[in-house]
């Protein structure tokens, strides 16, 4: 039931764009995105709900394709501060407990 | 400071021992989730409590148990510790229910020697 994230790692130069994908084999009710910097706690970025629209957060946005049970996180004009590991967390439709199952993460490194 | 407090930050203990990890959720949050993070497995869901009641269990070992008290703080008890239990243990809290995100504590790094 663990969602699959791709790529596992990506290296960008400042100003470049990146897309991180998250896919599930289960019908999803919501998808969360979190960023974790080394040695720190994961930090909530955004949530996408079934039937909802694409969300945005400054230069970071995400989409949710309900038919394919896939979500994508878009990072545009990357900054050094974007470096970290990005996790998607999925909430399965009907699970009722609001628990999230996280992917293994995508390590993003932004270099000057 | 995220508002979620976890203690202790670091714990080193021997195999076979028992430890208790503590979590105080953010003010107003009724849900507490426990996750185990290891290098190769990412964030693994252990257990969820909502307002004192257990709501869901993940792949939590029988040697592990948890509870949420009336003041909403939660404790995760790990017993008969093994080397493989070494990991970072995170507690997260939320208001409860979609569409609220989780707020994570800074974690407890457990090392079993």
Closest Cβ–Cβ partner in B35, B48, B106 for A97:
B48
For B22, other C-beta atoms within 10 Å of its C-beta total 15
Residue A11 near chain B (CB below 8 Å): no
Please state, in angstroms and rounded to a whole number, the distance separating the CA atoms of residues B4 and A108.
26
- In this complex, do B56 and A99 lie within 8 Å of one another by their Cβ atoms? yes
- DSSP state, residue B106: -
pLDDT of B97 reads 67
User: Quick one: average pLDDT of A11-25?
Assistant: 96
Coil/strand/helix, residue A80: helix
The DSSP bridge pattern shows strands B5-7 and B42-50 to be: unpaired
B58 touches chain A (CB under 8 A): yes
Q: What pLDDT sits at residue A15? A: 96
- pLDDT digits (tens), chain B, 113 positions: 879 999 999 999 999 999 999 999 999 999 999 999 987 778 999 999 999 999 989 889 999 999 999 999 999 999 999 999 999 999 999 987 666 789 999 999 999 99
């Amino acid at each position: 039931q663990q969602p699959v994230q791709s790529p596992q790692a990506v290296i960008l130069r400042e100003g470049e764009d990146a897309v991180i994908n998250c896919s599930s084999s289960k019908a999803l009710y919501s998808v969360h995105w979190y960023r974790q910097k080394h040695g720190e706690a994961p930090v909530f970025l955004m949530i996408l709900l079934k039937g909802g629209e694409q969300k945005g957060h400054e230069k970071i946005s995400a989409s949710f394709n309900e038919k394919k049970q896939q979500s994508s996180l878009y990072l545009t004009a990357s900054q050094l501060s974007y470096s970290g590991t990005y996790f998607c967390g999925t909430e399965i439709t009907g699970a009722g407990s609001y628990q999230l199952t996280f992917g293994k993460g995508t390590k993003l490194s932004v270099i000057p | 400071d995220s508002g979620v407090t976890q203690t202790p930050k670091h714990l080193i203990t021997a195999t076979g021992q028992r430890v208790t990890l503590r979590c105080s959720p953010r003010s107003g949050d009724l849900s507490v989730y426990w996750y185990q993070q290891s290098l190769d497995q990412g964030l693994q869901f252990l257990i969820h409590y909502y307002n004192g009641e257990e709501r869901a269990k993940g792949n939590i070992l029988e040697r592990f148990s948890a509870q949420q008290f009336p003041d909403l703080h939660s404790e995760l008890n790990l017993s008969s510790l093994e080397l493989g239990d070494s990991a970072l243990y995170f507690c997260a809290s939320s208001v409860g229910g979609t569409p609220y995100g989780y707020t994570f504590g800074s974690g407890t790094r457990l090392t079993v020697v």
